């Protein structure tokens, strides 16, 4: 077979690009319209103005402005064709067009705000938003500036997407470090005041209002350089690293992380200890639900019931309260709470043994609501306190020393989470764990292979409930009281969401998901009213871009990308 002439091949390639050009331009306009609609939505609900109130770089860049920059960059990157499918000039033009469309839609919103009073319907369309979108300029120069800047950022996004991966990762690392250093400047500044020497370092980057532009530039250069050096070092040492060295490196990394978790709350203070403790409680529940959903494939939306059982059992056995059943210590009550949670988990599993899929989710949600209604009912009030709950729950104590400080309670939670993680890891790699995974893949085939479905399902419910009961027990001592309102359905949804975002069936994924969906919103509490908006957006983005999660298990990654690998092999 003869090869075509290069000149002919070039002409054919150019003609193909010319034939596809209308679709390329339509794609750019469509992407720009999507990003513009997202920007308008964020403006209408008031999130842009609220984000504008927090600076990343003092008097230079706010979080709201950074959000607009990200929208323009994203429109440019997504609006341009992939490399190799169009020339560089075409990619630049289409990326610029997509960002310009997004900017023009925001400009149209500005014109509408000036022409018509919409604040009776959308209160967030305020003068502050108008100033943000027009850069403090009159309307006509402001909207022209908005479109021009958006177009330029779209072109920059295209250029960044075309840079070598090494440079691109360095830029992303430096920019991410600047954003983190600016957004969490209050926390970082408190930590950097530990000694005079460290405080002197703080003054190089920050003033009392936040991150200075010189400090931001220095942070960007430092972390970009670290990224470049890391990328240069790893390929050179990787061939010399054997399996034993890899295991030692992982062990060293885990030890370093543990040391950091122990030291960090001491430097950060009680508030960070409280946040980390809450993250730890959700990690405990996430590990339990991961056994049911991630390994066994049993979708449980009533998981909060086991959390409530652990909390109420500890409260009734330890509280200095008329509702108390005994006067035990936390260490005596906690094993009882865990065992009772296991029993309730098994009892929950019995009515739904033959239920699958969506019907199982609805059934377990009903069982969870039954528990919530019982603990808040007047019928059970003589025992459980009703809507008033159970008060005066004592703190745990060790050798007569009460763990009253949030940091001390965090260390208790950390210890419990480490023990639970080891148990969950052993269960995942055990014969029972393999039976759960077989059940998740195909229940009928698993039964045909001789797996006892009743025993395996009840063990999943019972052992998953044990982790939630342990978390509930610690939660009761953390608050010093328990109320029915603390055990809403939303807790089950939060735990399920962190598993999805972190990675189904992955223990590290549970930790990452809890940090992202529980810890981060707690540190940004002034944006708390938008928490569920962020949840929804995060879940949509994860399902579209990375359905296996942030830190997926190898099995889950293979399952979700096996079709992609087959397509690559056949193409």
Work out the burial of residue 347: count CB atoms within 10 Å of its CB; fewer than 13 is exposed, 13-18 middle, 19 or more buried: middle
Torsion sign (Cα): 208, 211, 215, 219: positive
CB atoms within 10 A of CB 561: 14
Say if residues 212 and 205 touch (Cβ distance below 8 Å).
yes
Q: Residue 242 pLDDT > 50, yes or no? A: yes
- DSSP letters of 353-414? TT--HHHHHHHHHHHHHHHHHHHHSSTTHHHH-GGG-B--PPPPEETTEE--SHHHHHHHHH
Work out the burial of residue 69: count CB atoms within 10 Å of its CB; fewer than 13 is exposed, 13-18 middle, 19 or more buried: middle
Q: Per residue in 202-238, pLDDT tens?
A: 788 888 788 899 999 999 999 999 998 887 776 666 5
**What pLDDT does residue 243 have?**
62
Say if residues 81 and 94 touch (Cβ distance below 8 Å).
yes
Say if residues 347 and 305 touch (Cβ distance below 8 Å).
no
Mean pLDDT value of segment 496-510: 88
Rounded Cα distance between 420 and 466, Å, is 10
Q: Residue 306 pLDDT > 90, yes or no? A: yes
Distances in Å between the Cα of 511 and the Cα atoms of 339, 417, 433, 483 are 25, 10, 20, 27
Q: Residue 339 pLDDT > 80, yes or no? A: yes
Q: Is pLDDT larger for residue 12 or for residue 396?
A: 396
**What pLDDT does residue 461 have?**
94
Per-residue burial over 80-98, b = 16 or more CB atoms within 10 Å of its CB, e = otherwise? bbeeeebeeebbbbbbbbb
What are phi and psi for residue 208, nearest 5 degrees?
-70, -15
Q: Mean pLDDT across the chain, nearest whole number? A: 85
What are phi and psi for residue 494, nearest 5 degrees?
-60, -45
Q: How confident is the model at residue 308 (pLDDT cuts 50, 70, 90)?
A: very high
Q: Residue 523 pLDDT > 90, yes or no? A: no
Q: Per residue in 402-441, pLDDT tens?
A: 888 888 899 999 999 999 999 999 998 899 999 999 998 8
Q: Residue 249 pLDDT > 80, yes or no? A: no
Say if residues 307 and 472 touch (Cβ distance below 8 Å).
yes
**What pLDDT does residue 420 have?**
92
Rounded Cα distance between 432 and 429, Å, is 8
Q: Per residue in 56-104, pLDDT tens?
A: 999 899 999 999 999 999 999 999 888 777 888 889 999 999 999 999 9
Say if residues 285 and 495 touch (Cβ distance below 8 Å).
yes
Rounded Cα distance between 552 and 286, Å, is 14
**What pLDDT does residue 14 have?**
47
**What pLDDT does residue 241 have?**
56
Mean pLDDT value of segment 161-179: 90
Q: Per residue in 435-486, pLDDT tens?
A: 999 998 888 888 888 899 999 999 999 999 999 999 999 999 998 889 888 8
Mean pLDDT value of segment 39-46: 92
**What pLDDT does residue 517 have?**
86
Mean pLDDT value of segment 23-46: 92
Rounded Cα distance between 56 and 401, Å, is 42
**What pLDDT does residue 416 have?**
93
Q: Residue 1 pLDDT > 60, yes or no? A: no
CB atoms within 10 A of CB 481: 18
Q: Is pLDDT larger for residue 13 or for residue 463?
A: 463
HEC per residue, 258-302: HHHHHHHHHHHCHHHHHHHHHHHHHHHHHHHHHHHHHHCCCCCCC
Mean pLDDT value of segment 544-550: 81
Residue 377 token pair: 């009912």
pTM above 0.85, yes or no: no
């Amino acid at each position: 077979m003869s090869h075509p002439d290069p000149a002919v091949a070039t002409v054919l390639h150019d003609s193909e690009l010319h034939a596809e050009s209308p679709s390329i331009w339509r794609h750019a306009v469509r992407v720009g319209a999507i990003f513009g609609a997202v920007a308008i939505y964020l403006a209408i609900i008031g999130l842009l103005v609220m984000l504008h109130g927090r600076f990343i770089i003092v008097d230079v860049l706010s979080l709201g402005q950074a959000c607009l920059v990200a929208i323009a960059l994203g429109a440019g990157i997504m609006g341009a064709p992939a490399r190799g499918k169009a020339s560089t000039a075409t990619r630049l033009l289409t990326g610029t067009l997509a960002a310009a469309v997004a900017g023009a839609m925001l400009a149209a919103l500005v014109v509408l705000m000036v022409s018509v009073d919409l604040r009776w319907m959308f209160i967030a369309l305020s003068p502050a938003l108008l100033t943000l979108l027009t850069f403090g300029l009159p309307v006509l120069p402001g909207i022209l500036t908005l479109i021009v800047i958006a177009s330029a950022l779209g072109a920059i996004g295209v250029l960044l997407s075309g840079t070598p991966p090494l440079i691109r990762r360095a830029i992303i690392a430096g920019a991410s470090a600047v954003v983190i250093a600016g957004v969490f400047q209050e926390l970082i500044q408190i930590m950097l005041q530990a000694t005079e020497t460290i405080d002197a370092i703080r003054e190089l980057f920050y003033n009392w209002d936040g991150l200075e532009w010189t400090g931001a530039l220095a942070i960007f250069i430092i972390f970009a350089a670290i990224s470049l050096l890391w990328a240069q070092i790893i390929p050179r040492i990787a061939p010399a690293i054997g399996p034993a060295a890899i295991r030692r490196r992982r062990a060293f990394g885990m030890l370093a992380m543990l040391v950091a978790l122990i030291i960090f709350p001491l430097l950060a203070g009680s508030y960070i200890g409280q946040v980390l403790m809450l993250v730890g409680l959700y990690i405990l529940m996430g590990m339990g639900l991961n056994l049911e959903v991630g390994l066994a494939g049993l979708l449980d939306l009533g998981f909060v019931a086991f959390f409530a059982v652990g909390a109420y059992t500890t409260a009734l056995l330890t509280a200095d309260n008329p509702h108390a059943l005994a006067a035990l210590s936390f260490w005596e009550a906690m094993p009882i709470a865990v065992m009772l949670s296991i029993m309730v988990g098994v009892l929950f599993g019995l009515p739904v043994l033959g239920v699958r899929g969506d019907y199982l989710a609805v059934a377990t949600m009903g069982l969870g609501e039954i528990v919530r209604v019982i603990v808040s009912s007047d019928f059970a009030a003589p025992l459980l306190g009703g809507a008033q709950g159970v008060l005066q729950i004592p703190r745990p104590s060790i050798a007569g020393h009460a763990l009253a400080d949030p940091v001390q309670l965090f260390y208790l939670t950390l210890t419990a989470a480490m023990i639970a993680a080891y148990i969950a890891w052993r269960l995942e790699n055990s014969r029972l764990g393999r039976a759960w995974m077989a059940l998740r893949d195909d229940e009928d085939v698993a039964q045909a292979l001789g797996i006892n479905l009743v025993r395996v399902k009840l063990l999943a419910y019972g052992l998953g409930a044990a982790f939630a009961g342990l978390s509930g027990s610690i939660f009761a001592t953390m608050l010093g009281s328990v109320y029915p309102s603390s055990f809403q359905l939303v807790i089950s949804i939060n735990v399920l969401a962190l598993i999805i975002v972190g990675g189904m069936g992955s223990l590290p994924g549970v930790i990452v998901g809890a940090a992202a969906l529980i810890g981060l919103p707690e540190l940004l509490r002034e944006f708390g009213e938008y928490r569920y908006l962020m949840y929804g957006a995060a879940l949509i983005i994860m399902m579209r871009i990375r359905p296996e999660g942030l830190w997926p298990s190898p099995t889950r990654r293979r399952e979700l990308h096996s079709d992609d690998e087959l397509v690559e092999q056949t193409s």
